[in-house]
């Protein structure tokens, strides 16, 4: 099975070198590694070039420059992923954000799971790190074992969400391209449930670094970087909007492809619980802004 690893990068000069190096240090060599810079203005491209220049191994590496630079934030990332999909050759796509990094066996173990079980998506246990590299927690699902994931528990525990995204090429070809500000790490796992399913590897193969920055693609990192209580309330409302948008994207796609009837009663219930909870969070957050006469923030685009 041919593997394509994609590292989309935008203004991650301080982190992208470690991310790229973690894939150059993988225990296997036979995969396509694509590092793509999307109009960075902070020297990210230079850091990538320096890292690759020092590499003396045998992995196939492609350094590209994505021309889709009009949008930023999640809209920009979606445009970047759609563009990258035109350049991959693999049957299996492993993605890593440029400010994260991976375990040396990420490619080997993920490919093993696909070759052994033939799912449409593989998710792994994810370990959180502080920017200094210290352990800061991990994802943990109830029974802590590697296995197939049912739709109800996928919706309940957000299995698939996070940075440990790996999907089959045919999944993206059927349900892509990503539109607007959809989160690939929520939309693609949900659609995988309607195809060959999600296999979960209970191994910490991905390291998610908790960077607090207003320049983050994810609003969670932006929220952590709030400079005062007013901005924190604005970012919380923005985060609530984004979260609801993700769940509604899932719901709309399930409707569009006539998959809702294939979900069990429990799965439909968990999905609607997530939609309602996300809507309640947004309503509450917007009410706070309204009563305190605080202008909401716009999504970066």
The answer as to CATH 3.40.50.300 being correct for domain 3-209 is no
Under 8 Å CB-to-CB from 281, ≥6 apart: which residues? Answer: 240, 243, 244
Under 8 Å CB-to-CB from 17, ≥6 apart: which residues? Answer: 47, 48, 50, 51
Indicate whether 219 pLDDT > 80: no
Show the tokens assigned to 205. Answer: 């193969």
Q: How many CB atoms lie within 10 A of CB 219?
A: 23
Q: Helix or strand or coil: residue 208?
A: strand
Displacement of CA 178 from its chain's centroid (Å): 12
Q: In the chain, where are the structural domains located?
A: 3-209, 221-291
Indicate whether 207 pLDDT > 90: yes
Indicate whether 3 pLDDT > 90: yes
pLDDT the model gives residue 96: 95
C-alpha–C-alpha distance, residues 215 and 298, integer Å: 14
pLDDT in tens, 12-46: 999 999 999 999 999 999 999 999 999 999 999 99
> Are residues 94 and 5 in contact, defined by beta-carbon separation less than 8 angstroms?
yes
Indicate whether 140 pLDDT > 80: no
Burial of 234 by CB count in 10 Å (0-12 exposed, 13-18 middle, 19+ buried)? Answer: buried
Mean pLDDT over residues 36-65, rounded?
A: 93
pLDDT the model gives residue 213: 81
Ramachandran category for residue 133: left, alpha or beta (phi over 0 → left; psi -120 to 50 → alpha): left
pLDDT in tens, 106-128: 999 999 999 999 999 999 999 99
Q: Helix or strand or coil: residue 253?
A: helix
Q: How many CB atoms lie within 10 A of CB 109?
A: 18
pTM: 0.94
Ramachandran category for residue 292: left, alpha or beta (phi over 0 → left; psi -120 to 50 → alpha): alpha
Give me the percent of the chain exceeding a pLDDT of 90. 81
């Amino acid at each position: 099975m041919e593997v394509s690893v994609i590292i989309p990068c935008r203004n991650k000069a301080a982190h992208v070198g470690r991310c790229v190096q973690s894939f150059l240090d993988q225990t296997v060599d036979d995969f396509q590694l694509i590092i793509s810079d999307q109009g960075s203005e902070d020297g990210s491209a230079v850091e990538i070039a320096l890292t690759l220049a020092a590499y003396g191994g045998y992995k196939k590496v492609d350094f590209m420059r994505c021309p889709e630079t009009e949008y930023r934030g999640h809209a920009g990332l979606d445009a970047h992923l759609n563009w990258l999909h035109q350049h991959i050759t693999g049957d299996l796509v492993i993605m890593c954000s440029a400010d994260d990094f991976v375990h040396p066996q990420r490619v080997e173990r993920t490919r093993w799971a696909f070759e052994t079980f033939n799912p449409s998506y593989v998710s792994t246990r994810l370990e959180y790190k502080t920017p200094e590299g210290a352990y800061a927690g991990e994802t943990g699902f109830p029974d802590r074992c590697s296995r197939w994931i049912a739709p109800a528990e996928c919706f309940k525990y957000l299995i698939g969400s996070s940075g440990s995204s790996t999907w089959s090429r045919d999944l993206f070809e059927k349900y892509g391209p990503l539109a607007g500000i959809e989160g690939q790490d929520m939309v693609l796992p949900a659609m995988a449930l309607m195809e060959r399913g999600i296999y979960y590897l209970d191994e910490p193969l991905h390291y998610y670094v908790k960077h607090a920055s207003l320049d983050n693609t994810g609003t969670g990192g932006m929220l952590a970087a709030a400079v005062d209580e007013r901005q924190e309330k604005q970012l919380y409302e923005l985060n609530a909007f984004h979260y609801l948008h993700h769940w509604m994207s899932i719901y709309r796609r399930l409707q569009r492809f006539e998959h809702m009837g294939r979900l069990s009663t429990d799965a439909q219930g968990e999905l609607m619980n997530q939609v309602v909870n996300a809507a309640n969070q947004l309503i509450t957050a917007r009410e706070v802004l309204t009563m305190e006469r605080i202008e909401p923030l716009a999504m970066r685009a």
